[in-house]
Amino acid sequence: MTYFQSLAQRACVAHAYRPTRAPDARQHRLSLPLVVDECDVLRVRRAVIQSAGGKVEIVRCVPIRNSTKVRLTIELRAGALDETIQRIMQSIKAGELGRIGLAL
């Protein structure tokens, strides 16, 4: 039995089984929770901006009730994580890093 297919049909069949590439892990957006003292917020903001510029941003800054602490939520690309954490640690005396997760 002979099947006749047009050139367009053969091209569709040939490209239908192309394996998909996995996305680059360095492009994932991560969420980094950080708790610091109120007086250190500007230092953290400066460190974040200097570390990776457009790849990092402070999304949320919420004061913690009955305390002098502030909870920051920082979103960044996975490729900028190491440099950002290093700059933050160099810029402040004390702080609490939370669990790093995927940004929504």
Predicted local confidence at residue 69, as pLDDT? 95
Kindly list the structural domains of the chain, giving each domain's residue range(s) and its CATH number in brackets, ordered by start.
25-102 (3.30.70.60)
Predicted local confidence at residue 39, as pLDDT? 93
Band the pLDDT of 58: cuts 50, 70, 90.
Answer: confident
Predicted local confidence at residue 7, as pLDDT? 62
Average pLDDT, the chain: 82
Radius of gyration, alpha carbons of the chain: 23
**What is d(CA 58, CA 84) in angstroms, rounded to the nearest whole number?**
12
Write out the two tokens for 64.
Answer: 């913690």
Predicted local confidence at residue 5, as pLDDT? 62
**What is d(CA 34, CA 57) in angstroms, rounded to the nearest whole number?**
13
Predicted local confidence at residue 35, as pLDDT? 96
Is the pLDDT confidence value at 21 over 70? no
Strand partners, 36: 70
The pLDDT of 77-96, averaged and rounded, is: 90
**What is d(CA 20, CA 81) in angstroms, rounded to the nearest whole number?**
27
**What is d(CA 84, CA 34) in angstroms, rounded to the nearest whole number?**
12
Helices (H), the chain: 7-16, 41-52, 81-91
